[in-house]
Amino acid sequence: NAGVTQTPKFRVLKTGQSMTLLCAQDMNHEYMYWYRQDPGMGLRLIHYSVGEGTTAKGEVPDGYNVSRLKKQNFLLGLESAAPSQTSVYFCASSQGPGELFFGEGSRLTVL
């Protein structure tokens, strides 16, 4: 099993450009999450989903949108990238209570 797979692994954008990060999980998990990791700030929840077709805001949702059209996929979109969105993005999934399974991370740089 691949677990949680994120694409792309690295991306450089110019301010104002748009992009989508794709997260795919093959564990049939109901819950999926997008976190961003910045130095000294831990992991902050951007958006999450408790099932196919659902999405909800986390701690830092501004500037991001998400969609969960299929149970195994959770997409994170940046409509107009800003330098403040330079970060490492982690997708995770879980089957309700308990352990989060993280992807390998996607490093995004916005110039």
Neighbours of 104 (CB within 10 A): 12
What's the min distance (Å) between Cβ of 111 and other proteins?
Answer: 23
Mark residues 45-74: x for contact with other proteins by CB under 8 A, - for none.
Answer: x--x-x-------xx---------------
Contact between 102 and other proteins per CB under 8 A: yes
Beta-ladder partners of 106: 89
Residues 43 and 89: their CA atoms lie apart, in Å, by 9
Neighbours of 31 (CB within 10 A): 18
* Residues lying near other proteins in the complex (CB under 8 A): 31, 35, 40-45, 48, 50, 58-59, 90, 94, 96-100, 102-105
